[in-house]
Amino acid sequence: MIATILLLASEPAIRKVISGALESAGYLVLSAEDLSSAMDWLKRCTPDLLMVRHYLEDTPGHDAAIYLRASLPGIPVLLVGGIPDDPGLTTRETFHGFQIFPKPFTAAELVGKVREMLPGKLPDNHRREGSRHQRAEE
């Protein structure tokens, strides 16, 4: 099964860039522009990771992440674009154990962070590569 990421980001360009990077790495990305859209996705499937843009148009990303994770206790959450010296993000208790991935970052760094957060959940392209290697060795 492909590792699935629910991405919540209000800006279309940011959704496109992040989705493109993760899909190129073999992940299935479910994009949502607002909290309501993200909740609709959660009614239909269970992602492996919640990725929420720190700054959203209609609600703080941190608050949206708390609300979404209430539906999936224990799911890893990555707040993307948070600024490390933001006073609201200075203690672990403040962001409820969510991981922060501050900007600026490259696509490779983002993919690396996702791999770190989803140990044992390989993206689809790694499974295909493993299958090819396995067949070659047989």
Which CATH number is 84's domain given?
3.40.50.2300
Confidence of residue 92 (pLDDT cuts 50, 70, 90): very low
Q: How many structural domains does the chain have?
A: 1
Q: What is the pTM of this model?
A: 0.82
Residue with more model confidence, 126 or 62: 62
Confidence of residue 100 (pLDDT cuts 50, 70, 90): confident
Instruction: Tell me phi and psi for residue 81, to 5 degrees.
Output: 90, 0
Residue 63 CA: distances (Å) to CA of 45, 52, 95, 106: 21, 10, 9, 25
Residue 11: domain span:
4-137
Confidence of residue 138 (pLDDT cuts 50, 70, 90): very low
Instruction: Tell me phi and psi for residue 114, to 5 degrees.
Output: -65, -45
Confidence of residue 86 (pLDDT cuts 50, 70, 90): low
Instruction: Give the pair of three-digit tokens for residue 79.
Output: 């707040």
pLDDT in tens, 21-72: 999 999 999 999 999 999 999 999 999 999 999 888 888 888 899 999 999 9
Confidence of residue 85 (pLDDT cuts 50, 70, 90): low
pLDDT in tens, 3-20: 999 999 999 999 999 999
Residue 121: per-residue pLDDT = 79
